[in-house]
């Protein structure tokens, strides 16, 4: 399944288009199946209904763990680097990881978890997080990992949506010089979560925590009560593997569902090829397992390929801005996979902390999560890769499960800011507003995919209609990504950013509607409108226009802003806090009451000269007031 040359890429691509089923069946055969599948693919994008490897039986952990034991049982599977560089790290060989996953799986069983039950995981970036994820998969429970930065309210929403039976968490988390009380946040969440019967708590920070009798148990004590014998549950290829919540343009985050067979095949195939992983190499993906990048390229993809994956608990800037380079040097990392926002923030610190580390072990650099700007691309190439490591700018989404458009390291000729070419099996099309395909090169449009790949989203948990509406109804017969894209003269793809009301802040997806709802929870707020604006480090910043019951002034305005930020933190989490808040007396609305975000976006960008047509507005005067206010804001 390994592509080594551009000719091989082209041949594989051709094969994948002409005979998708044959192409993927050949790749899938390299894995361990309890029972072979009867039919490779059945699909329609109208319902939508997509099934891969129909009738096939497997357990993904047998592929990620058991099958490696004979050949590489003593090879490191997970290397863990703690937040504090002075604390000892942990290396788990495949044998040790297998043992620990089985034990944890038995702990879940002891606490009532059976096949099909949902388990919420809210943990720091410690080995036990990866172990808990795999333990769920071992027994056929569905994990729903919630990023450790989300609020109690967000956890509760996710737990209730999925009706989770058990929560796995820790007393607290270390992030840089901060200590975060995870269990306390879970306790707050659980006040409103009747489905939860047990909470399994790992000791990490020794922060004092409440332990409720009958509900809360210590992971360490539970582990003493089980053996390491836990046969893997036999799963259907299309059984649910996990739910991961992600933001969209409307309302509450939705639970993206991935299934066992297709997700395994696709993440392994893309990991192996995009990064050109060689046995013995160490892969360092800096994402958090709370996001899809961590699921696919810290846990499942690398382990399915028998790779060594590094898990880092901390942040890039603590104890200083050389932390990534320190880790690369210390472990002799081969592949580094990070986000443009991290690169841009580290660029700002200069080269001193880069140059005093040996980065010569690096072979491939990856970028993910947001468009990478030219300056960051070159800095990454020059100073980290020393112009000898290919950069793979990987475009994909929570819904796609794995990388879709990306160079293959050392195989595809790269071009700064371009995700370049679709991987085998991926059939992108650009369409105009009416869904008409835009053919040829040197064009741009809305990015859609016209044929299923093995790890395509299957449904949104508990609400299939929402899945259909969001992804398959905008353009008939196509999966719509929500991204704008151009295809240049060479047929290379460049993702230009979201075309819907989803923001990408530091690589995190946040819906404008979600932030507005949170702001509107503040007692003094009547209405709000949130847009993104270009931000040097975060990629996009959050700009909120707020109508308050009484227009606050001076000191009062500052206090109200502070409270609005606290409200958003409480409702969603600190990542969704607006960077700028401007109080306004009205919002630019059409006669039918729709907020004209285009105008608000322009003003937030500081581009007030070309607001376009404002004559259809109910009250055009409000625009001048907002413009004037924005100038004051910009100077502040
Ligand atoms: C954006 C993250 C440009 C895009 C894996 C997409 C990118 C959203 C890139 C998905 C890239 C991701 N270049 N934009 N290489 N990768 N995006 O679900 O807007 O957190 O729709 O998945 O991030 O974000 P998500």
Judge if 461 and 514 occupy the same domain. no
Q: Residue 178: which residues within 8 A CB-CB, separation 6 or more?
A: none
For residues 324 and 336, the answer to whether their CB atoms sit within 8 Å is: yes
| CA triple 305-506-374, angle to 5 deg | 85
Q: In terms of Cα–Cα distance, which of 359, 297, 350, 307 is closest to 328?
A: 359
For residue 483, tell me if it sits in a domain.
no
* C-alpha span between 452 and 400 (Å, rounded): 10
Q: Could you give the CA distance from residue 507 to residue 627 in angstroms, rounded to a whole number?
A: 29
Q: Judge if 522 and 447 occupy the same domain.
A: no
Q: Are residues 547 and 416 in the same domain?
A: no
Specify the residue with its C-alpha closest to ligand 1, atom 13. 371
- Residue 493 within any structural domain of the chain: no
- Closest residue by Cα to residue 512 from 147, 244, 250: 250
| Of 3, 219, 263, 261, nearest in space to 124 by CA | 219
Q: Is residue 499, in this structure, part of any structural domain at all?
A: no
List the CATH number of the domain containing 13: 3.40.50.12780
Say what the pLDDT of residue 1 is: 78
- The whole-number pLDDT of residue 593 equals 87
Residue nearest to atom 23 of ligand 1 (CA): 369
Residue 310 sits in the same domain as residue 403: yes
Residue 339 has pLDDT above 80, yes or no: yes
Residue 337 domain boundaries: 6-472
Q: How far apart are CA 229 and CA 223, in angstroms?
A: 12
User: 300 or 615, which is more confident?
Assistant: 300
Residue 488 is assigned to a structural domain of this protein = no
Per the CB < 8 A criterion, the answer to whether 508 and 519 are in contact is no
Strand 493-498 relative to strand 479-487, pairing? antiparallel
Same domain membership, residue 65 and residue 180: yes
Cβ count within 10 A of residue 207: 16
pLDDT tens readout for residues 438-463? 999 999 999 999 999 999 999 999 99
pLDDT band at 611 (very low <50, low <70, confident <90, very high): confident
Which residue among 421, 452, 472 closes a domain? 472
CATH code for the domain in which residue 517 is found: 3.30.300.30
| Reported confidence tier of residue 465, pLDDT bands at 50, 70, 90 | very high
How far is ligand 1, taken at its centre, from the CA of residue 397, in Å? 5
| pLDDT score, position 614 | 81
Residue 266 CA to ligand 1 centre (angstroms)? 17
243 domain-assigned: yes
Tell me the C-alpha distance between 168 and 301, whole Å.
23
* Same domain as 424, residue 311: yes
pLDDT in the model for residue 618: 84
For ligand 1, mutation pick of 370, 391, 482 (most atoms within 8 Å of CB):
370
One domain, residues 216 and 346: yes
In tens, the pLDDT along 173-224 reads 999 999 999 999 999 999 999 999 999 999 999 999 999 999 999 999 999 9
For the segment 241-253, the average pLDDT, to the nearest whole number, is 91
Neighbouring CB atoms inside 10 A of 621's CB total: 13
Q: How many domains does the chain have?
A: 2
Confidence of residue 521 (pLDDT cuts 50, 70, 90): very high
Q: Which of 455, 472, 489 is the last residue of a domain?
A: 472
pLDDT for 242 beyond 80: yes
Q: Give the integer Cα–Cα distance in Å for 290 and 293.
A: 8
How far is Cα 11 from Cα 3, in angstroms, rounded to an integer? 10
Of 305, 276, 454, the residue nearest 366 (C-alpha): 276
Ligand 1 pocket: which of 253, 271, 291, 369 to mutate (most atoms within 8 A of CB): 369
Dig out the tokens for 367 from the structure.
């970028």
Decide whether any atom of ligand 1 lies within 6 Å of the 483 Cβ: yes
| Residue 417 CA, ligand 1 centroid: distance in Å | 13
In a domain, 203, yes or no: yes
Distance (angstroms) between ligand 1 centre and the Cα of 367 equals 10
Which pLDDT score, from 0 to 100, does residue 58 have?
98
Give tens-digit pLDDT for 136-167: 999 999 999 999 999 999 999 999 999 999 99
Same domain, 25 and 172: yes
Q: What is the DSSP string of 397-416?
A: -GGG-S--B-PPTTTSPP-T
Same domain for 254 and 173: yes
Asked if residue 369 has its Cβ within 6 Å of ligand 1, the reply is: yes
> Can you tell me the distance from the alpha carbon of 544 to that of 567, in angstroms, rounded to the nearest whole number?
13
| Peptide bond just before 48 cis, omega within 30 deg | yes
Residue 527 falls within a domain, yes or no?
A: yes
* Token representation of residue 599: 């105008």
| 425 and 514 together in one domain | no
pLDDT per position as a tens digit, 5-57: 999 999 999 999 999 999 999 999 999 999 999 999 999 999 999 999 999 99
Give a yes or no: residue 62 inside a domain: yes
Statement: residue 251 has pLDDT above 80: no
pLDDT, the chain, mean: 96
Residue 481 vs residue 613, higher pLDDT: 481
Tell me, what's the pLDDT at 296?
A: 99
Ligand 1: atom nearest CA of 246 is: 18
Bridge partner list, 529:
545
| pLDDT at res. 540 | 96
Q: Percent of the chain, pLDDT > 70?
A: 100
Q: Tell me: pLDDT of 325 over 90.
A: yes
Quickly count: other Cβ atoms within 10 Å of residue 562's Cβ.
Answer: 11
What distance in Å separates the CA atoms of residue 232 and residue 592, rounded to the nearest whole number?
A: 57
* Pair (100, 169) in one structural domain: yes
Which residues on adjacent β-strands are paired with residue 483?
A: 498
**The token pair that represents 211 in the structure block:** 């332990």
Residue 303's φ and ψ, nearest 5 degrees, are: -70, -35
Structure tokens belonging to residue 512: 């404008």
Both tokens of residue 276?
A: 């050109």
Residues 191 and 264 in one domain: yes
Q: How far is the CA of 368 from the centre of ligand 1 (A)?
A: 7
How many angstroms separate the CA atoms of 165 and 194, rounded?
9
């Amino acid at each position: 399944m390994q592509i080594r040359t551009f000719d091989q890429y082209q041949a594989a691509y051709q094969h994948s288009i002409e005979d998708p089923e044959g192409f993927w069946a050949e790749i899938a055969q390299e894995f361990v199946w309890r029972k072979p599948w009867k039919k490779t693919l059945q699909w329609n994008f109208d319902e939508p209904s997509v099934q891969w490897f129909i009738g096939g039986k497997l357990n993904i952990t047998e592929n990620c763990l058991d099958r490696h034991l004979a050949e590489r049982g003593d090879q490191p599977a997970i290397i863990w680097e703690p937040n504090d560089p002075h604390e000892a790290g942990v290396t788990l060989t495949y044998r040790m990881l297998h043992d620990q996953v089985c034990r944890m799986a038995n702990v879940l069983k002891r606490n009532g978890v059976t096949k099909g039950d949902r388990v919420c995981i809210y943990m720091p970036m410690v080995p036990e997080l990866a172990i808990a994820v795999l333990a769920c998969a071992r027994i056929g429970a569905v994990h729903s990992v919630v990023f450790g930065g989300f609020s109690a309210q967000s956890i509760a929403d996710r737990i209730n949506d999925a009706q989770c039976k058990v929560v796995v968490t820790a007393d607290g988390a270390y992030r840089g010089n901060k200590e975060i009380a995870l269990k306390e946040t879970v306790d707050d969440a659980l006040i409103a979560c009747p489905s939860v019967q047990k909470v399994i708590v790992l000791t990490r920070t020794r922060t004092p925590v409440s332990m409720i009798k009958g509900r809360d148990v210590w992971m360490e004590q539970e582990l003493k009560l089980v053996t390491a014998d836990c046969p893997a549950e036999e799963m259907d290829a299309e059984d649910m593997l996990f739910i991961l919540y992600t933001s969209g343009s409307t309302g509450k985050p939705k639970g993206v569902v991935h299934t066992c067979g297709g997700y395994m095949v696709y993440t392994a195939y893309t990991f192996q090829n995009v990064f050109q992983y060689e046995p013995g190499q160490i892969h360092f993906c800096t994402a958090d397992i709370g996001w899809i990048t961590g699921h696919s390229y810290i846990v499942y993809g690398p382990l399915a390929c028998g790779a060594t994956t590094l898990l880092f608990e901390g942040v890039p800037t603590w104890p200083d801005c050389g932390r990534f380079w320190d880790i690369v040097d210390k472990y002799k990392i081969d592949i580094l996979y990070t986000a443009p926002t991290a690169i841009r923030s580290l660029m700002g610190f200069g080269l001193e902390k880069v140059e005093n580390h040996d980065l010569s072990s690096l072979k491939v650099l990856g970028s993910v999560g947001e468009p990478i700007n030219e300056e960051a691309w070159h800095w990454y190439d020059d100073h980290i890769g020393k112009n000898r490591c290919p950069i793979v700018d990987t475009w994909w989404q929570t819904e796609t499960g794995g990388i879709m458009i990306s160079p293959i390291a050392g195989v595809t000729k790269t071009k700064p800011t371009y995700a370049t070419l679709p991987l085998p099996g991926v059939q992108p099309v650009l369409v105009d507003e009416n869904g008409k395909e835009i053919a040829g090169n040197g064009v741009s449009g809305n990015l859609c995919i016209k044929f299923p790949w093995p790890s395509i989203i299957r449904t949104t948990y508990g609400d299939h209609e929402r899945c259909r509406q969001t992804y398959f109804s905008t353009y008939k017969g196509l999966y719509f990504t929500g991204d704008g894209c151009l295809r240049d003269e060479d047929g290379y793809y460049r993702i230009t950013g979201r075309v819907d009301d989803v923001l990408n802040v530091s690589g995190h997806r946040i819906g404008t509607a979600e932030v507005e709802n949170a702001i509107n929870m503040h007692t003094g707020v009547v209405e709000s409108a949130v847009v993104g604006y270009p931000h040097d480090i975060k990629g996009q910043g959050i700009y909120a226009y707020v109508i308050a019951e009484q227009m606050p002034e001076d000191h009062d305005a500052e206090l109200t802003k502070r409270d609005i930020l606290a409200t958003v933190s409480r409702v969603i989490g600190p990542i969704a806090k607006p960077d700028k808040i401007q109080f306004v007396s009205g919002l630019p609305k059409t006669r039918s009451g729709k907020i004209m975000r285009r105008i608000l976006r322009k003003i937030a960008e500081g581009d007030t000269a070309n607001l376009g047509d404002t004559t259809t507005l109910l009250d055009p005067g409000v625009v001048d007031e907002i413009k004037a206010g924005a100038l004051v804001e910009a100077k502040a």
